[in-house]
Amino acid sequence: MIPARIQPVLDEVRPLADAFAAAGRPLYLVGGIVRDQLLGRPLGPEADIDLTTPARPTEIKAIAGPLVDALWTQGERFGTIGVKLGGRSIEITTHRAESYSPESRKPEVAFGDDIHDDLSRRDFTVNAMALRVPEPELIDPFDGAADLAAGRLRTPLSPEVSFTDDPLRMLRAARFIAGYGLDPEPGLVAAVRANVERLDIVSAERIRDELDKLLVVEDPSAGLWFVVDTGLADRFLPELPAMRLEQDPIHHHKDVLAHTIAVVAKTRPDRLTRLAALLHDVGKPKTRAFGDGGVTFHHHEVVGARMARDRMQALKYGNDDIAKVKKLVYLHLRFHTYGMGWTDAAVRRFVRDAGDVLTELIELTRCDCTTRNRKKAERLSRRMDELEARIAALRAQEALDAIRPDLDGKAVMDHLGIPPGPAIGEALDHLLELRLEEGPLGADEAYRRLDAWWAARTDP
């Protein structure tokens, strides 16, 4: 029986379903939307709908074109026509199978005529279900609904075939393990371990996008352990298994990998915050040292920031993403360097240095505390609350989010009667330092301080 909650989706695609039926072409809802509707997960207003049909792209355009608000053909050579209908983005794809040759980084696409063949080449049984429209009929040749109910992760064909067809599916398994609470079958796990090197033919961009999707599920922990334990992480993020440090029997310290995964799980599911949490301690293995006081990781935030940058560059992240995550890794210990007291100057410097990642830095700092010592955790939380209160109070008094010298370069040149040159930069640095230490000076006081600085600088 088809659940009644699916009816709104059926209503949305009804115009297309009727048109394809009139043309003698079957049409099916397929993939994630079928899975999520069976689970009762709501279809958000921004979610896409996927449909499949034996009709070829030219025929899809002819049938759908007169009905839709917009149509695009960027994926036509792969069998996909995109349309906009009633504000919803919908992709209609010809039945197909994708596979990678052993040396290729790009899939080979073959069109097909049978829905069962199309479903057989999909990644997992829970995604290998289709719902025929307009009169709903569930097509589930590989018992995906039963696997969904039982919490099993299987592939429609043998996992070796599935992962040969598209090696990225091995990494995608981690997202389904974490995001849907599915338990991978032993054969699937064994196939991943045996085929991890196949991931090397997948483009860095596809791996990056799949990692991002894993990181923003509610709790990515199980998926992250999966990529480490199977050896997948060695192929695209070797810094992660490197944090599984051997525990010294004398100098006890937390397992860095376990701590890292716990921090990721604690942070809100924001992509860059989670990525910074994943990478915040990558510098620890390279900086670990043992001394009389125990184990230390001096300057791991400096080393880690460079390592995070290098890894993100290898995964083809954009420069803006790299800069933000690098800054978060570099600053993730900054809160602790101020000790128990926060002067106004310290608050200003913290806000100035964090810049556009202040919210994420506070979140990361809070979540970096994974101690089981309740009193220690409560103490840290209180200090963070105090810092946020101080930031709010200062923000109400001054332009805290755009701290600049009280005078600009032109005002300095006009007042001192000097041309552009290094002295102007030095003067602005001096005024900025005063602004950070004392708050807004006002123009009159800024000119007075500038005169005093200039006199001291030029006094022989």
Q: Which CATH number is 151-236's, of 3.30.70.260, 1.10.110.30, 3.40.50.2300, 1.10.630.10?
A: 1.10.110.30
Are residues 142 and 156 in contact, defined by beta-carbon separation less than 8 angstroms?
yes
Asked whether the beta carbons of 57 and 94 are under 8 A apart, the reply is yes
Q: How many CB atoms lie within 10 A of CB 53?
A: 26
What burial class does residue 61 get, using C-beta atoms within 10 Å of its C-beta: 0-12 exposed, 13-18 middle, 19+ buried? middle
Report the alpha-carbon distance of residue 364 to residue 358 in Å, rounded. Answer: 10
Closest CA to 451 of 400, 417, 410: 417
Q: Count CB neighbours of 60 within 10 A.
A: 27
SS3 432: helix
Decide if pLDDT at 253 tops 60: no
Q: Which of 379, 401, 390, 280 is nearest to 332 (CA)?
A: 280
What is the bridge-based pairing of β-strands 88-94 and 49-53? parallel
Average pLDDT score over residue span 177-200: 97
CB 184 within 8 A of CB 219: no
Take residue 84 and report the two structure tokens written for it: 């906009």
- Residue 97 DSSP SS3: strand
- pTM for this model (two decimals): 0.86
| CATH code linked to domain 245-401 | 1.10.3210
178 φψ region: left (φ > 0), alpha (ψ -120 to 50), beta (else): alpha
Superfamily holding 4-150 = Beta Polymerase, domain 2 (3.30.460.10)
Report the pLDDT value the prediction gives residue 339, as an integer from 0 to 100. Answer: 61
Q: Enter the DSSP assignment of 198.
A: G
- Residue 106's pLDDT is 64
Confidence of residue 250 (pLDDT cuts 50, 70, 90): very low
Res 167 pLDDT > 90: yes
pLDDT above 90 for 1: no
How far is it, in rounded angstroms, from Cα 182 to Cα 390?
44
Closest CA to 240 of 287, 178, 282: 282
Give the separation between CA 460 and CA 456, rounded to whole angstroms: 9
The two tokens of residue 135 are: 């009169």
What is the separation of C-alpha 101 from the centre of its chain, rounded to a whole number of angstroms? 29
Give the pLDDT confidence of 150-160 residue by residue, as tens digits. 999 999 999 99
DSSP SS3 for 360: helix
- Going by pLDDT thresholds of 50, 70 and 90, the confidence category of residue 251 is very low
Measured over the CA atoms of residue 385, residue 390, residue 395 and residue 399, the dihedral's sign is: negative
Q: What does the pLDDT read at residue 383?
A: 85
Q: Partners of 53 in the beta sheet?
A: 94
Note whether 51 and 16 are within 8 A (CB).
Answer: yes
